[in-house]
Amino acid sequence: MIANGLRPVLLVAVMGFVGVASAQQAQDREGDPPAVIHVEGRVIHFDGLISQASVAKVRALLEADGSLTEFAIQSGGGDVEAGMALGGMIRDRGMDVRVVGDICLSSCANYVFPAGNRKFIERGALVLWHGSLLQKNLLKNFNYSGIERQLGRPPNWLERWSIQRAAKKWFRRALSEQAAFYTELGVDPRITILGHEQGCTCDWTVSVADMAKFGIGSVSADADYAAPGYARWSGEWQLIASDDEAPTATRQ
């Protein structure tokens, strides 16, 4: 049994921790403003944090209007399970995904972008990965600083034990959901840890051709996508190449 008041703290810590490049980035996300979401014609525009609340707003829009066919997104990522839920809605409705602004990062790249029927990357925008639930030692390296801030003190030994137990349970369930999600899409999830496998402690993207090797097909981008001087985003990132063992796409 988790101590009173600790479950919301745990969920914030776990959901913010996995799928980000570092614990510091996870901490930074806690203060992000809510996403700005609106509809123009047949397009849902989404700008900001992927969260349970923002996904609920998208769900309501889709349920109210069956004519919506495109999802235009700019996002630095967010909640893992919310990302999968959002990707599932896009997949189920056969919507196109258009990356606008500067980035589609983390949960956006992991779950929203590959779920699109057709995928468009506007000039200057980047699809960036930096990890997923497949990362090694995620729970071993669990960071308690966010929990300490929310509790106003370090967790005691019983709370730490409860946190670790609940985190393991959540992790097993979420990992199973992620595996099912990628199987449904026909996408090889190794793209979410490709940079780690190559020793890159970075945010990374790959060419459109390499995306297809991992099952992310029907992608349209400029011929110089991710070339030097291409991106609008001011953050650090790298263009990496897939290895020769990446499978042929199972869905185009």
- Which helix (H) or strand (E) segment holds residue 220: the answer is strand 219-220
Task: For residue 202, give the DSSP letter.
Answer: S
pLDDT tens-place values along the chain, 252 residues long? 333 334 444 444 444 444 333 333 333 455 678 999 999 999 999 999 999 999 999 999 999 999 999 999 999 999 999 999 999 999 999 999 999 999 999 999 999 999 999 999 999 999 999 999 998 877 776 666 777 777 788 888 888 888 888 888 888 999 999 999 999 999 999 999 999 999 988 899 999 999 999 999 999 999 999 999 999 999 999 999 986 544 333 222
Phi, psi angle pair for 7, to nearest 5°:
-60, -50
CA proximity to 139, closest of 50, 4, 13: 13
The reported pLDDT for the residue numbered 229 is 93
Measured CA to CA, the distance from residue 252 to residue 32 in angstroms comes to 34
The reported pLDDT for the residue numbered 17 is 43
The DSSP bridge partners found for residue 126 are: 103
Measured CA to CA, the distance from residue 73 to residue 44 in angstroms comes to 8
Tokens of 189: 């999830």
The reported pLDDT for the residue numbered 137 is 74
Q: What is the DSSP string of 166-204?
A: HHHHHHHHHHHHHHHHHHHHT--GGGGSHHHHTT--S-E
Measured CA to CA, the distance from residue 79 to residue 99 in angstroms comes to 18
